[in-house]
Amino acid sequence: MSFTSARDVYLLAVARGVSFLGDFMAATAIVLALQERGAGGPAVAAVLIASVVPVVALAPLVGRLVDRVDSRVLLTVVGLGQAACCTAMALTTRTWLLITLVGLLAAGVAITTPTFNALLPDMAGPDGVGRAMAIGQTANSVGSLAGPALAGVFVGAFGLRIPLLIDAATYLAVVAAGLLLHTRRKAAAGGPGGGRTGWKIREDRFLLAMTCLVGAIVLTINVDMVVGVFFIRETLGAAPAEFGLVEAAWTAGMLAGGWIAAARARDDGALGRLIVLLHVVTAAVVLASGFVGTVLLMYPLWLLGGAANGAENNFLGVIAARRVPGEVRGAFFARFGAVINAANLLGYAAGGVLVGRFEPRQIVIGCGVAGLVAVAIFGGWMWRVSAAAGSAAASSLPGTSSSRSPSPACSGSAP
């Protein structure tokens, strides 16, 4: 199996991996610093909310930008802005200003993430998307593994400033990717808006069911993101470095899960059913974590949950590459991301309210139960749609080009 541009696949993976290292280090450091300052659940929730509001609010604009503006321009300009924003975050000691800058930084992420996601199918080709995603997820996992662990060490030794300055430096990897990638997305064929500007997720029942299922599970489980630091640090008595290592365990599981998923070249229907089963595993892991009595038991659970999460991400990317028209791929990833981050937003807001009213353990258990209920509600719909998709694809080989394969119209070579 060969890629359309193997060089670009690996270059993109390295750039995103370096950026992930900085982002996870900074995010973990901010949460730890706020907890140590006694800021409480509302402040942690405010930071998490600020990190997703721009992704939701800017989705319509971002979709048009990614599909109409040269990807090289977007990545270089936005990457420089993000580096400047992180530097400003390192220099402030005011919580309200830090939260504001987190929101500004997230506006950049709202642009770069769908840009990278839209580029990947053009680099990999329709048959190589699964393997390319596993390579990218490997780099992301390495960065995400190192980031939380280093954050715990740096916050304990130096405070918040050093992790944020490192994050600022890693955004230069985004700038480098913008300048060095040969694969580029320019204005889509058919004019400034492309030939399929009216395409919507709801036109494809499979994608619609998948989006609703993922959004529901994210909404119910991500309350745990707010309470997690209090549960691990206070209920289980973990040190800052141990908190970082627990967070890293989830990412380590994602690394294995992504590669296992890459080897499963199946039709969309089979992948859809697997996504339902993986969501059951994810919710069950969160539920089980609410009953542990020691931080050591969190590691195997988080490894399993991360593996399910990594496989889910790989399958989602493969399905999107197959079914979304290439000229509107940026709009799809922006809007799909908006739905998921809106679910994040509601989950974070709920977490900020609940953490002041219930014990952390009770909230974690509630998140797991709610996740299983969400899968029970939306998983049946996804299962039925997947069965229909599998029947329709029975006459074609998995991964081959079809009427829903990515269009090459948005890719190009650097001059």
pLDDT digits (tens, 9 = 90+) for 16-73: 888 888 888 888 888 777 777 776 667 777 887 788 788 888 888 888 888 888 989 9
Residue 368 is predicted with a pLDDT of 93
Helix, coil or strand: residue 217: helix
Would you say 265 and 399 are in contact if contact means Cβ atoms under 8 Å apart? yes
Would you say 251 and 306 are in contact if contact means Cβ atoms under 8 Å apart? yes
**From CA 209, how far away is CA 377, in angstroms rounded?**
11
Burial 373-382 (b: 16+ CB within 10 A, else e): ebbeebbebb
Residue 394 is predicted with a pLDDT of 39
- Any idea which residue has 């300009």 for tokens? 77
In degrees and rounded to multiples of 5, residue 394 shows phi and psi of -60, -25
* Residue of 362 and 163 predicted with greater confidence: 362
Residue 187 is predicted with a pLDDT of 54
Which of 183, 169, 166 has its CA nearest to residue 80? 169
Residue 237: is its pLDDT beyond 80? yes
Please, what sign has the CA dihedral across residues 177, 179, 180, 185?
positive
Band (pLDDT 50/70/90 cuts) for residue 407 is very low
Burial class of residue 396, CB neighbours in 10 A (0-12, 13-18, 19+):
exposed
Please, what sign has the CA dihedral across residues 106, 109, 110, 111?
positive
Residue 55 is predicted with a pLDDT of 81
pLDDT digits (tens, 9 = 90+) for 294-312: 999 999 999 999 999 989 9
| Tokens encoding 138 | 């490997």
User: In terms of residues, how long is the chain?
Assistant: 415
Would you say 214 and 371 are in contact if contact means Cβ atoms under 8 Å apart? no
Residue 16 is predicted with a pLDDT of 87
Residue 113 is predicted with a pLDDT of 86
Strands (E), 111-238: none
Residue 214 is predicted with a pLDDT of 92
Residue 198 is predicted with a pLDDT of 59
Helix, coil or strand: residue 246: helix
Band (pLDDT 50/70/90 cuts) for residue 264 is low
Residue 284: is its pLDDT beyond 50? yes
Residue 267 is predicted with a pLDDT of 81
Q: How far from 173 is each of 112, 146, 154, 277, CA to CA, in Å?
A: 12, 17, 22, 36
Residue 281 is predicted with a pLDDT of 96
Would you say 326 and 189 are in contact if contact means Cβ atoms under 8 Å apart? no
Residue 80: is its pLDDT beyond 70? yes
Residue 352: is its pLDDT beyond 50? yes
Band (pLDDT 50/70/90 cuts) for residue 414 is very low
Q: Which fold has domain 6-187+201-394?
A: Growth Hormone; Chain: A; (1.20.1250)
* Contacts of residue 297, Cβ cutoff 8 Å, sequence gap at least 6: none
Average pLDDT over residues 197-201: 66
Residue 269: is its pLDDT beyond 80? yes
Band (pLDDT 50/70/90 cuts) for residue 96 is confident
Query: What is Dmax (Cα atoms) for the chain?
Result: 61
* Contacts of residue 75, Cβ cutoff 8 Å, sequence gap at least 6: 112, 115, 174, 175, 177, 178, 181
Q: How many CB atoms lie within 10 A of CB 7?
A: 13
Identify the weakest region by mean pLDDT among 11-20, 184-193, 389-398.
Answer: 389-398
Residue 223: is its pLDDT beyond 80? yes
* Residue of 240 and 366 predicted with greater confidence: 366
Torsion of Cα atoms, 174 then 336 then 323 then 9, to 10°: 10
Which of 140, 109, 113 has its CA nearest to residue 310? 140
**From CA 240, how far away is CA 157, in angstroms rounded?**
11
pLDDT digits (tens, 9 = 90+) for 362-397: 999 999 999 999 999 999 999 998 888 755 543 333
Kindly report the average pLDDT of the chain as a whole number.
81
Residue 295 is predicted with a pLDDT of 93
- Please give the angle made by the CA atoms of 331, 312 and 72, to the nearest 5 degrees: 35
* Residue of 278 and 355 predicted with greater confidence: 278
Highest-scoring range by mean pLDDT, 117-126, 190-199, 323-332, 373-382: 373-382
Domain extent listing, the chain: 6-187+201-394
Identify the weakest region by mean pLDDT among 148-152, 337-341, 362-366.
Answer: 148-152
Would you say 252 and 141 are in contact if contact means Cβ atoms under 8 Å apart? yes
pLDDT digits (tens, 9 = 90+) for 244-256: 788 878 878 888 8
